[in-house]
Amino acid sequence: MAYSAIDIAKKIVCKTDVLHGDTISNLKLQKLLYFMQGFHLAWFGTPLFGERMEAWTYGPVVPVVFQEFKRYKQRAINPERYSDSLVLSGEEQQLFDRVYSEYNRFSAVTLMNMTHSEGPWKDHGIGDEITNEELRAFFLTLSFPTGGDSQVRSRQFDEQYMQHLISLSAPSWKGVTDADAWVHELRGE
């Protein structure tokens, strides 16, 4: 089930631990949404939220979330102004916590540089949509975050989806016809 991007953003903002010096800007929030969406697509095969993601100058952005938090400009978003009423399923919450734990430790600029150095953002012009299919294909090539004490099961490849991706890109992948071999080829293994 896809949730509202605004609700997911509020959930991220509410995890901000201001008592221990943690802050989150709109820029950092946008990058965390990108990683949350990408890993959710790779893990579950479905989007975490249904709203459009676009390539902007400073990386991937969910425009409706940007509009919601733009009043903060470059300043830290005040988590006390928001509440987290969204309840994710058990496995979704575990993945959410793992992704948050792994990527929240980086600054907004570091996260931006990460999105600029690889992945779907660099293949688009400013304002272009970054599709869920592109995100899923890219995030399937990444290792899942290991943060927290999560008991999330090991990822299983969606063989049918991988075969579909291979069929679309086989000429450029040296004739690879097996999903696992294709992923290893993407990773350079």
Task: Report the SS3 class of residue 159.
Answer: helix
pLDDT tens for each residue of 52-85:
999 999 999 999 999 999 999 889 999 989 888 8
93 and 32 co-located in one domain: yes
pLDDT tens for each residue of 159-173:
555 555 555 554 454
Domain span including residue 187: 157-189
Mean pLDDT of 18-38: 94
99 and 15 co-located in one domain: yes
- Residue 175 domain flag: yes
Count how many domains the chain has: 2
29 and 93 co-located in one domain: yes
Burial class (CB in 10 A: 0-12, 13-18, 19+), 124: middle
The residue count of the chain comes to 189
9 and 96 co-located in one domain: yes
Name the residue with higher pLDDT: 173 or 21. 21
- Residue 99 domain flag: yes
pLDDT of residue 154: 38
165 and 137 co-located in one domain: no
Name the residue with higher pLDDT: 13 or 141. 13
- Residue 137 domain flag: yes
121 and 44 co-located in one domain: yes
Mean pLDDT of 25-40: 97
User: Does residue 133 contact residue 39 with C-beta atoms inside 8 Å?
Assistant: no
Residue 152 pLDDT > 70: no
- Residue 86 domain flag: yes
Mean pLDDT of 3-30: 93
- Residue 150 domain flag: no
Burial class (CB in 10 A: 0-12, 13-18, 19+), 71: exposed
Lowest-confidence range among 45-59, 118-132, 141-155?
Answer: 141-155
Name the residue with higher pLDDT: 181 or 127. 127
Give, in order, the Cα–Cα distances in Å from 186 to each of 41, 150, 174: 18, 27, 11
- Residue 152 domain flag: no
117 and 180 co-located in one domain: no
Taking the alpha carbons at both ends of the chain, their separation in whole angstroms is 34
**Torsion, Cα of 117, 132, 5, 140 (10° steps):** -60
30 and 85 co-located in one domain: yes
49 and 102 co-located in one domain: yes
Structure tokens at 33: 């949404």
- Residue 55 domain flag: yes
96 and 179 co-located in one domain: no
- Residue 103 domain flag: yes
Question: 172: alpha, beta or left, given left = phi > 0 and alpha = psi -120 to 50?
Answer: alpha
Mean pLDDT of the chain: 83
125 and 63 co-located in one domain: yes
Rounded percentage of the chain residues whose pLDDT exceeds 90: 62
Give the predicted TM-score (pTM) of the model. Answer: 0.76
- Cα–Cα distance for residue pair 154/116, rounded to 1 Å: 28
130 and 40 co-located in one domain: yes
3-state secondary structure string across 39-108: HHHHHHCCCCECCCCEEECCEEECHHHHHHHHHHCCCCCCHHHCCCCCCCCHHHHHHHHHHHHHHCCCCH
